[in-house]
Amino acid sequence: MPYHNAPRNCRDFLPNKSARVLPVTAAIDDNPPAAADGSPCPDIIRPMTKGDVAAVHALECSAQPDPWSAAHFAEELDRSYSQTDLCWLHGQLAGFICSWLVAGELQIQNVATAPAFRRQGVAIRLLAHVLQRAATTGFESAWLEVRVGNAAAIALYERFGFKAVARRPNYYPDGEEALVMCYRPSDHKG
């Protein structure tokens, strides 16, 4: 993930011709599994509200080495161009993604999946959701920054066809380099 004094950004992907690039349609299941007790428990993606901030912050602290504060998540609610989307599975908060859409550019600010829900397609669903929504606005590009050592996140972005376009040496507080990654819908038409 990117790291600014203010919001962290997640930006882009390494070219990998062998990677299977996902279409931007991997949304939530139409027929989600029932909860363990058999009761209906719809899996959904929905926007974060003020009442979700504490739970989202707790997930962030469980997932990130340098977590955003709860106040930071609350501030995102006040930004007209910001959207934080939550993925709920079996009634539990499984993951979130925070993105900004500014002047035709989608900026992935933060994404995390709770450790108990990793490798179950949560981040794929969230990223697809955000890219699909941005597509309805005719966005030109999506950007993010990611630690060069974050192989899991880089692999995730590569699945969507993000490509690494730049590096930012000494970008994070611990000195780690950031990859800047970019996705252009025009590269994936036809």
Ligand X SMILES: CC(C)(COP(=O)(O)OP(=O)(O)OC[C@H]1O[C@@H](n2cnc3c(N)ncnc32)[C@H](O)[C@@H]1OP(=O)(O)O)[C@@H](O)C(=O)NCCC(=O)NCCS
Interface contacts to ligand X, rule CB under 6 A: 1, 10, 63-64, 95, 111-113, 118-124, 146, 150-153, 155-156, 159
Which of 98, 109, 107, 95 is closest to 63 using CA atoms? 95
Q: Report the nearest approach of ligand X to the CB of residue 158 (Å).
A: 7
* 145 labelled catalytic: yes
Q: Report the nearest approach of ligand X to the CB of residue 38 (Å).
A: 25
Q: In which order are the strands placed within the sheet that holds 178-183? A: 44-47, 82-89, 92-102, 105-113, 141-147, 178-183, 163-168
Q: Report the nearest approach of ligand X to the CB of residue 42 (Å).
A: 19
Nearer to ligand X, 52 or 138 (CB): 52
Q: How far apart are CA 114 and CA 60, in angstroms?
A: 8
* 171 labelled catalytic: no
Nearer to ligand X, 54 or 151 (CB): 151
Catalytic residues: 145, 157
